Amino acid sequence: MDDLNDWIGCLGGHPQTITPNLDRLAASGILFNNAHCPAPACNPCRSAIFTGRSPHRSGMYDNRQAMREIMPTEVLIPQHFRNNGYRASGSGKMLHYFIEAASWDEYYPAAETENPLPDSADPKVRPASLPRGGPWQYVDTDWAALDMTDEEFGGDWLTAKYVSEQLNQKHDKPFFLACGLYRPHEPWFVPKKYFEPFPLESIQLPPGYKPNDLDDVPAVGASAARNRYFAHIQEQGQWKQGIQGYLASIHFADAMLGRVLDALEASPNADNTIVVLWSDHGWQLGEKEHWQKYTPWRAVTRVPLMVRVPAGISTALPSGTAAGTVCDAPVNLLSLYPTLIDLCGLPKKSGNDGPSILPLLSDPANQDWTHSSVTYLSKPGSYSASNRTHQYIHYYDGSEELYDLESDPYEWTNLASLPSSEAMLDAFRRDAPKDFHERVEPSVDSLVKLPWFPSQGKNPPVSVPDGNKFPIFFTNKRAAAVELCLVEASGQVSMKATVDAGSRETQRSRPGEVWLIRDAGTHLSLGHFVVDDRTAEAIIPAAVAK
């Protein structure tokens, strides 16, 4: 489940959440209430899980990177199972917006499309609720109750349908089946019946919210927290609407999970199927003045993790998992790969960086578990580590945070500067990762592409710059040189560079800036690009429309 924090009944993250199916799955197996993600973003987290490689070993730290550019030969979990006699099928988002067709026997949508998301009926007019604060804002930060049925909405309903059909079949071979539910990932568009249990006037703010909670946070952490989203949402008077949308999306995703669990229980595979449920990372909805993910605090690093193993199907765990058990040991999703290998009796896969949690599945109270759980941020040297009682944060500049989770579960009081904390700090520092792979820059070819707007005799819009600078790569596919011209906010056009035919030029730019492309010989306008919220490639097409 995508972007799901601890706002589920059995983890107690928000008193209004409605998650009967997550709760019944937890009650039927082991709930890990101190589980954390390898990275607080979809791409590095999912890449780490499916390859078994930790971000600090691979150099895969953020969403802009391409997994196969960084780890071209790592065998993914479904392929390892296929190599050992299993059939691998899946549906929905498992990797970061691609399928990796070569690692699966079948997929829905079709694997060759490399688009894992089934179509959904989003509103025709966007934004539906939250006005976009500027080009810096992710366009899908939005929410709405849709007047339609689950089937009419599609999306996760179609994923649950496909997975349920696979479960209902009799299989000649053992199977690995992946179900990637996209909600509660943004945008928070779901059928209105999932909004109805959460009347706006009843919405409660996040229990972990505290005004001025960044006062004792190091500057680098406070800067990352204040990413403009929360301030914009407050300015628009939409904080409670956003919370409502998130709760509704969790409720919808839980219902889709229920369809899958019902299908499994009614299927011929009910008694010999291991079930693992996880979320790639959590989400902040105003805690520490932050909205989104990407941060080192528990609201983002901590994730739901549930494991159910029926008795008599695993030689490594013959008695199966004890129903209704809660384990508070610090564990990490990086451990899923080696754990599944152990449970299914497959050959080990070299290079797995996480320890198998099989000892905890056998004995959830196991006090010999000495591992801490580490979440790696986007800059090498920055990470968050959890043990049974404390959470420690280390930033690349050497600044630190320390929280006592037993007395301060919402991390309101940073203890790092207190002399009494030295022993705990020393323990975390001693066990901390020492070597960090440098961040591997994505190739230009793997970047998102800016839309091309042909001139058609019209003047381009003026720039409305808003945000920090980052590189934009201009690739000239024409047979003649072009000029790169920045359209200033005043409307003045400033020529910045010439790009020869078949060449590429890099310019640092800000969200909202407009780049006019002119023929270098005639100085006639060919078209323009508008910079969005991230590094991108701007391809000047070979055949320019008149």
Listed residue (180, 224, 197) closest to 399, CA to CA: 224
Q: Closest by alpha carbon to 429, among 369, 475, 473, 387?
A: 387
Torsion of CA 520, 522, 525, 526, to 10 degrees: -70
In sign, the C-alpha dihedral spanning 122, 126, 132, 137 is positive
Query: Hey, is 106 helix, strand or coil?
Result: strand
Given 14, 56, 80, 96, which residue is catalytic?
96
Paired tokens of 369: 């578990």
96 in catalytic set: yes
Whole-Å CA distances, 206 to 5, 17, 221, 241, 458: 12, 11, 20, 13, 48
Alpha helices of 52-116 — where are they, by DSSP H? 55-58, 67-70, 77-82
Cβ-contact 32, 329 below 8 angstroms = yes
The DSSP line for 465-509 is --S--EEEEEEE-SSS-EEEEEE-TTS-EEEEEEE-TT-EEEEEE
Q: Are 47 and 94 in contact (CB under 8 A)?
A: no
Encoded tokens for 367: 């006090």
From first CA to last CA, the distance across the chain in angstroms is 46
Cα distance between residue 356 and residue 188, in whole Å: 35
Residue 1 CA: distances (Å) to CA of 41, 122, 184, 438, 535: 13, 19, 7, 29, 27
Quick check: is 42 catalytic? Answer: yes
CA distances from 218 to 213, 224, 264, 384 (A): 12, 10, 48, 14
The CA distance from 96 to 60, in Å, is: 12
Q: Using alpha carbons only, what angle is made at residue 80 by residues 79 and 86, rounded to the nearest 5 degrees?
A: 80
Q: Cβ neighbours of residue 105 under 8 Å, at least 6 residues apart? A: 82, 87, 88, 89
Looking at 10, 37, 42, 327, which residue is catalytic?
42
Report the SS3 class of residue 279. Answer: coil
Structure tokens at 273: 């199927």
Q: How far apart are CA 371 and CA 94, in angstroms?
A: 26
Structure tokens at 74: 């790592």
Peptide bond into 109 cis (omega under 30): yes
Element (H, E) at 44: helix 42-51
The SS3 call for residue 160 is: helix
Measured in residues, the chain has a length of: 546
Residues with active-site annotation: 42, 96
